[in-house]
Structure 1
Amino acid sequence: MPMTDLPDLPLPGHGATAERLRGLTALGRADLVTCRLAEGHVDAVAIRAELGDLDQDQNRSGERWGVWAAAPSSVRAEHGPHGWRLTGDRPWCSGAAWCTDALVTAAADDGIRLFAVRTEHPHATPLDGTWPAIGMAGSDSRTIRFTDAPARPVGDPGAYVDRPGFWHGGVGVAACWFGGALGVADTLLSAARRKDPGPHALAHLGAVDVALGAARAVLDEAAARIDADPKADAHRLALRVRATVEATATEVLDRVGRALGAGPLCRDPDHARRVADLTVYLRQSHAEADLEQLGRLLAEGEGQW
């Protein structure tokens, strides 16, 4: 997908969430960097729709949006006679030089707010040397320095994380991981279909199929539940989906490597890049911290599994 050819995916919770997740999965299977940038754009569209901001800037074309909201951040929002202005450094800004616009969280006097910002010089400057990554290198997730950047508030204080769609977006990221896992698994499947890889490699192939089937099932279930009750709290659902897909992707990385050895990692640049990209992308998960959060929700909640 050319970087200007952004997908038009259904909004989550509007009856076609499964189609949205399948679209993200297909992008991840083809290329995780492209998927990461596209996911940020379609997530921004969904956020703006949910918070009532899509009627803004309707005459502009060629917008490429990012969602730059990861903690920590030193961005401060000040409201003055000429409107809101943002100042400070925001790390982990995927598409730093590619995005034309971004949704950015910042601390204001009345709490953490979400703002729409044009990523224009001199108000928004990507800092060189802040993304020396090998995996996901092409995502260009540098730190952005905002300097008196004009900004438009999107929603009320706290609205970005308090809305149900926050967790719908988290499920969308898991769909991207699943696509990356499929891309890595494709290398093993292709190798097995070219020649008999031996019993151990075939056992790994069978185990990969089982793991991928489990991840696909939880994504399908999540899509159905989001569409059935889009305003329900999807926190626990998203944590469970993300943990399942992360475990699947981790198993796929391990089993494909054990089945095929170092050859594809050293001689197949596309496969080596997929492995490096997926390894980094999966770390958007908070690992045991997310599992602890899931366990706490279960222990303090009601109902069954």
Structure 2
Amino acid sequence: MTRSHRTHSLGPTTPFVRAAIDAARAVPGFGVDVEATLRWCVEVAQDTPPIATGRTTELWDLLAATAALDVAAGRMLEPHLDALSILQQAGAAQRADRDPLGVAAIRADASSSWGVFAAEAPGARLTARPDGDAWRLEGRKAWCSLAGFLSHALVTATLEDGRRGLFAVALSDPTVTTHAGPWHPRGLTQVVSAPVDFAGTAAVAVGDPEWYLQRPGFAWGGISVAAVWWGAALPFIDLLASAAASERADQLAFAHLGRADAALWAARAALREASALVDRAADPADAPDPRMLAARVRNIVAAAVTAVLTEADAALGPAPLVEADAYPRRVADLHLYLRQHHGERDAARLGRLLAPTGENS
């Protein structure tokens, strides 16, 4: 690890994060072997603090460090940790003797691997209907990442009155059909995001209707994704530093490195400030609007990571894209993952929140 890479740490790395990353390095095919990587995710998650419990910096440090090691691994870890945080926020525990939401009914426990399927898409509609004290899910859910590998998922579905609810389901249920496509990406090839069909699947309600979208944790989870983006960009700094140290380096090589460094440093500062604000959110007087905080941080981080990719393209040229697998895979993985940010539309959402009439627009 070079000196410039160390300057971009989210803070002093804790023993927990160091141990987790050391364990990840020992996993054969980490980030490529989905089953092995998910086993690591489940194991490390048991000691990972949920968001907004006083250790948010450590949570985001872990996500960033994982993505610095492998982008796809960060993409796998983030939704699993998000699901556990959601269950914690809803009062669910991952132990059979403390199960207020009844997730043990769908055979969920500490060994479960979780996804969060909340995307909406034309032509795909998932409905939830009551069935005694339980619920049944019927229909199709789009963009279900890794559904063929996960044991459980939190899924949004439409209720009879049109509101959206959140439900926990076992993906091994025989009424669940996962699909392997369509999925023809150039990045995150192993993180298949395809439809899942539910045919009267037993489900457990998590929170009240609309709770999933209205809780502060929905916005805070979006910052967790940004921490993964940020960590995924860190290795480019090392490559730019090596290029600038070459005998053939000129002023442009230094400029590329300097601009990338400044961009990631600014994003680091935004993440650190946000983590402090999230951990103080128990006091309403100290808590900014979670939507505004998330929009600001995600815009800052996405712009910084995009700038780093641009600087790396200009500084390094085509050679690393064709001479080895690791660099082009990281570029493709990060480009695709960044598409969870919607560019000008997300900037417009922030502007709408800031405008005096934003709440009524």
TMscore range, shorter length: over 0.9
Secondary structure class of the residue paired with 2:339: helix
2-side partners of 1:244 and 1:151: how far apart?
A: 38
2-side partners of 1:50 and 1:44: how far apart?
A: 10
Partner of 2:17 in structure 1?
Answer: none
In the alignment, does 2:80 pair up with 1:41? yes
Q: 2:119 is matched with which residue: 70, 75, 80?
A: 70
In the alignment, does 2:40 pair up with 1:5? yes
| C-alpha contact (below 8 Å) 1:189/1:205 kept by paired residues | yes
Q: 2:138 is matched with which residue: 55, 74, 87?
A: 87
Q: 1:101 is matched with which residue: 148, 152, 158?
A: 152
Could you tell me which runs of 5 or more consecutive residues in structure 1 were left unpaired when the two chains were aligned: none
Partner of 2:199 in structure 1?
Answer: 147
In the alignment, does 2:294 pair up with 1:245? no
Question: How far does the alpha carbon of each residue in 1:116-152 deviate from its partner, in whole angstroms, 9 at most, with x for none?
Answer: 0000153222223322112111111121111211110
2-side partners of 1:141 and 1:227: how far apart?
A: 32
In the alignment, does 2:89 pair up with 1:50? yes
Given residue 160 of structure 1, which amino acid in structure 2 is its aligned partner?
Y
Mark the CA change 1:183 to 1:301 in structure 2 (over 3 Å): closer, same or farther.
farther
In the alignment, does 2:187 pair up with 1:135? yes
1-side partners of 2:200 and 2:242: how far apart?
A: 53
Mark the CA change 1:270 to 1:84 in structure 2 (over 3 Å): closer, same or farther.
same
Shift of 1:203: 1.0
Question: How far does the alpha carbon of each residue in 1:254-301 deviate from its partner, in whole angstroms, 9 at most, with x for none?
Answer: 100100100011112101000000000001012222111111111127
2-side partners of 1:129 and 1:170: how far apart?
A: 25
TM-score (normalizing by structure 2): 0.79
2-side partners of 1:144 and 1:191: how far apart?
A: 45
1-side partners of 2:325 and 2:141: how far apart?
A: 32
| C-alpha contact (below 8 Å) 1:183/1:274 kept by paired residues | no
Q: 2:274 is matched with which residue: 222, 226, 229?
A: 222
Given residue 127 of structure 1, which amino acid in structure 2 is its aligned partner?
H
TM-score (normalizing by structure 1): 0.93
Secondary structure class of the residue paired with 1:208: helix
In the alignment, does 2:68 pair up with 1:29? yes
| C-alpha contact (below 8 Å) 1:187/1:271 kept by paired residues | no
Aligned residue-pair number: 302
| Higher RCO, Cα 8 Å, sep 6+ | 1
Secondary structure class of the residue paired with 1:152: strand
Secondary structure class of the residue paired with 2:207: coil
In the alignment, does 2:196 pair up with 1:161? no
| C-alpha contact (below 8 Å) 2:229/2:338 kept by paired residues | yes
Question: How far does the alpha carbon of each residue in 1:29-62 deviate from its partner, in whole angstroms, 9 at most, with x for none?
Answer: 1111111111000000000111112224397342
Shift of 1:87: 1.5
Question: How far does the alpha carbon of each residue in 1:174-219 deviate from its partner, in whole angstroms, 9 at most, with x for none?
Answer: 0000011113333323343465533212210111110010000000
Partner of 2:331 in structure 1?
Answer: 275
Question: How far does the alpha carbon of each residue in 1:65-98 deviate from its partner, in whole angstroms, 9 at most, with x for none?
Answer: 0011112341111112473111211111111212
Q: Percent of pairs identical after alignment?
A: 41
| C-alpha contact (below 8 Å) 2:173/2:201 kept by paired residues | no
